[in-house]
Structure 1
Amino acid sequence: MRIICISDTHGQHHSLQLPQGDILIHAGDISTLGKAEEIEDFLTWYSQLPHPYKLFIGGNHDFYLEKEPELFELMVPKNCIYLNDSMVEVEGIKIWGSPVTPFYHNWAFNRYPGDDIRKHWKLISEDTDIVVTHGPPAGILDMTVREIAVGDEDLRKKITYIRPKYHIFGHIHEQYGQIEQEGTTYINASYLDIRYRPSHPPVVIEYEKSVTGSR
């Protein structure tokens, strides 16, 4: 399976050059201001892409998804899969996604440290193959331009415990890249740089399923 990873397009999705693949994953911040018209434009574009499976989550800029969840759900095209603290199984690959990030200036899907955010990570099944969150785990591709690490510690503990094959996220534009630790490949797939300029290509995963299962 060929998986294409993107994140943090912030309304600039039309400039993306996407390679072919089986599964397309967007790790949030599909908009800039989180307005309904921005979301609708993204969904129209996303639904027309040729990838057989199109998954996405929200991000801290995507206010409409959190403020009007029922109306938003009606907007999602049938050929797109929206993950919100939920899992989908695609061709035997279990993918779980969440838009939640640590609290910062009251953005969308913000949660306070402790039980407020930890309850979301408790929902991640131990047999998950790919975890998609908008924000990074603590200490992994989470350093801002001001040299402040902003990843979530409880998310790091959960990922370290269940050890999925991949953890895909974005949020910190300046930390685009990949790193492998203890059997998990962490991918920051941010499309835009710190100045919101299109700068980073989509990340391509050649996913090999094992004989005994997806992992």
Structure 2
Amino acid sequence: MTLYNHYSTILFLLFLSFTTITNALTLPPWRGTRQLLSIGPWGILLDAFETSCSSNSQQVLYVDAKGSTALLPSSSSLPSYSSDTHCRIVAISDTHGKHRSLAIPPCDVLCHCGDILQRYGYIGSCGGGMTALVDFCSWLQNDIPSTTSKIVIGGNHDTLLESLGTNKVKELLQTQGGGALYLHNEAVVVEKLVFYGSPWSPLGTTGNNAFQRNCHAKDEVTLAQKQLATQEAKDKQKEYYNRIDVLLTHAGGRNTAWNKLIYDENEILLEGTPKYWIHGHWHDGHGDCTTILDSRRRRGRKCVSVNVASNDMIYRPVNPPVVLDVPFCDRT
């Protein structure tokens, strides 16, 4: 047993040295060392401790109907709303196994926009397996009130979800995740609103390529069209297609111009004209909120687009949950 422990220690030190050198060579100096701490198997405990010591751990970001944002000290500072006229949504994304560090405010619907798991490229796969997924389901079932509806989509780090397949993930979230709904290029009616969910994100080079199926897309907009607005998805749920209230995708626009380009060119965004487009993926874009005007059809209709990534650029769960009050009334 002593010899076994000795070899285990040596292997662990070799792995640690390899990942440290790899991070130092591939990441900017300001990210490498600290990010290694966050994405390693020790990261969840380390970040949970840091979060518990932070005075900002109860903060929420509120987005109003005009797309203006307000950082509030806690959920008790949120404006009141009527559940007869509005649905309160709390949106998170890119939790990477650190969901338990988040303080989720009371809400009608909790939306998770992908990257549930911690897997990082080819070297940081700790936290990307079934144990982590089951823990996420347990958190949904035991820590989120049963009166809160839950909607989940995949992200580019969620290789396990892609390999399990849509039906298996749906079953797992339903039975072990407190009845959570898993959306994969499909829509559902929850709390009188139509939600459409897709794991779409632009093709990357990090090795985190779950759900990025078309490796030969000429550009990101082409990829968006092929993955998000497939004919199969359109035909499958045609009854919801033209009345989407909330669009959930893993990635959104990188900036206002790119955001607008996807909105104008993508069929679901164009024809569905959602009230809100909620997404993550870009960790440094948390809280970026823009109001997009449909300039090609249905003139005057607007879509509020907001980034809700929960982890920062070095994978610390420091970005507060985003709260939106979505009206039930018809759009004009």
Q: Which residue of 1 aligns with 2:134?
A: 40
Secondary structure at the aligned position of 1:111 is classed as coil
Q: Which residue of 2 aligns with 1:83?
A: 183
Output the amino acid matched with 2:136: F
Output the amino acid matched with 1:35: G
Q: Report the CA distance shift for 1:65/1:153 in structure 2 as closer, same or farther (over 3 A).
A: farther
Q: Which ranges of structure 1 fall in alignment gaps of 5 or more residues?
A: 142-148
Output the amino acid matched with 1:63: T
Q: Which residue of 2 aligns with 1:25?
A: 111
Does structure 2 retain, via aligned residues, the 8 Å contact 1:118–1:155?
no
Output the amino acid matched with 1:5: A
Q: Which residue of 1 aligns with 2:292?
A: 181
Q: Which residue of 2 aligns with 1:108?
A: 210
Q: Which residue of 2 aligns with 1:126?
A: 242
Q: Which ranges of structure 2 fall in alignment gaps of 5 or more residues?
A: 1-86, 120-127, 235-240, 294-301
Secondary structure at the aligned position of 1:199 is classed as coil
8-17 vs 113-122, greater mean Cα deviation:
113-122
Output the amino acid matched with 1:165: K
73-82 vs 128-137, greater mean Cα deviation:
73-82
Q: Which residue of 1 aligns with 2:83?
A: none
Does structure 2 retain, via aligned residues, the 8 Å contact 1:22–1:53?
yes
Runs of 4+ aligned structure 1 residues displaced above 6 Å come to none
With structure 1 as the length reference, what TM-score do the two structures score?
Answer: 0.85
184-193 vs 76-85, greater mean Cα deviation:
76-85
Is the counterpart of residue 193 in structure 1 residue 312 in structure 2?
yes
Instruction: Give 1:101 shift.
Output: 1.5
Q: Distance in 1 between matches of 2:182 and 2:263?
A: 20
Secondary structure at the aligned position of 1:77 is classed as helix
Does structure 1 retain, via aligned residues, the 8 Å contact 2:283–2:312?
yes
Instruction: Give 1:152 shift.
Output: 9.9
Q: Which residue of 1 aligns with 2:199?
A: 99
Higher helix share: 2
Q: Which residue of 2 aligns with 1:137?
A: 253
Secondary structure at the aligned position of 2:194 is classed as strand
Say how many residue pairs are matched: 205
Q: Distance in 2 between matches of 1:44 and 1:203?
A: 22
Output the amino acid matched with 1:207: V
Q: Which residue of 1 aligns with 2:155?
A: 59
Q: Distance in 2 between matches of 1:104 and 1:209?
A: 37
With structure 2 as the length reference, what TM-score do the two structures score?
Answer: 0.57
Q: Which residue of 2 aligns with 1:73?
A: 170
- Aligned-pair identity in percent equals 32
Does structure 2 retain, via aligned residues, the 8 Å contact 1:92–1:214?
no
Does structure 1 retain, via aligned residues, the 8 Å contact 2:153–2:184?
yes
Q: Deviations over 1:164-208 (max 9, x none)?
A: 110000000000112222211111001111011122111111111
**Greater radius of gyration (CA):** 2
Does structure 1 retain, via aligned residues, the 8 Å contact 2:170–2:181?
no
Secondary structure at the aligned position of 2:284 is classed as helix
